[in-house]
Amino acid sequence: MLARRRAFTLVELLVVIGIIAVLAGILFPVFAHARARGQQTHCAANMRQVHTALVAYSEDHGGLLPQATTKCPGGEFGTQWQGQMDIVWWDFVLPYAGSTKILYCPSAVTTLPTYWINANLTFLQPRSIDDCTDPTRTVLLLEGRVPSGPDQAINFPAISFCNPDLTALFCRHSGKMNVCFADGHVKLTGIRDLRKGSPLWEVEKPLE
């Protein structure tokens, strides 16, 4: 005669459910942190690829970076509320980028590309990365404000410390943002380090 299987009691089931809940409470933040860390790493890799694309562009154009904006219509990018943007540096870099995906941080909304360029290097009068006297400490790219509604439209994706939009930049990675410097390295940087007066925006550093 087969022995009858003993069923779990209600108390035992509640204990098991409680243990699972406790483990979930411990593990979910760990998973969320790992996911956020993965997105930050992906974003940094994107910025390094954009830097490579900008260098390739400059090699084909006399060493000069693309203009931040041409003020000419017909750009690749736009939103449903602002329509098509003017041709900006995103458009110039596309043939060298291989994919539009590298222009987007995975932590940001995707209405427009994420990365903005240092206006001191590219606005109206393009300059060369070689103009940077200290490329390891000169901002080239950083994460910019991505519009999500009609009141947040942007004209061109360039910024410097004198731009009021600096306060609206999104620190998407643990209270900081990825910044790509002119030499190609990417570093998590706090917004305090980028506000007015920061030497990180300067192309030609003063002699010490």
In the chain, where do the E strands start and end?
A: 69-79, 83-88, 115-118, 139-143, 158-159, 177-181, 186-189
Q: What is the pLDDT of residues 51-62, one digit of tens each?
A: 999 999 999 999
What are 147's two structure tokens? Answer: 């519009």
Let me know if residue 144 belongs to a domain. yes
**What is the rounded CA–CA span in Å between residue 62 and residue 16?**
68
| Residue 54 within any structural domain of the chain | yes
pLDDT, tens digit (0-9, with 9 covering 90-100), for 17-73: 888 888 777 766 655 666 778 999 999 999 999 999 999 999 999 999 999 999 899
pTM: 0.83
Domain that holds residue 71: 12-201
| Domains contained in the chain, number | 1
Q: Identity (one letter) of the amino acid at 14?
A: L
**Does residue 208 lie within any of the structural domains?**
no
Rounded CA-CA distance 91/97 in Å is 10
Query: Considering the domain boundaries, does residue 72 fall inside one?
Result: yes
Residue 4 domain flag: no
pLDDT digits (tens, 9 = 90+) for 185-200: 999 999 888 887 788 9
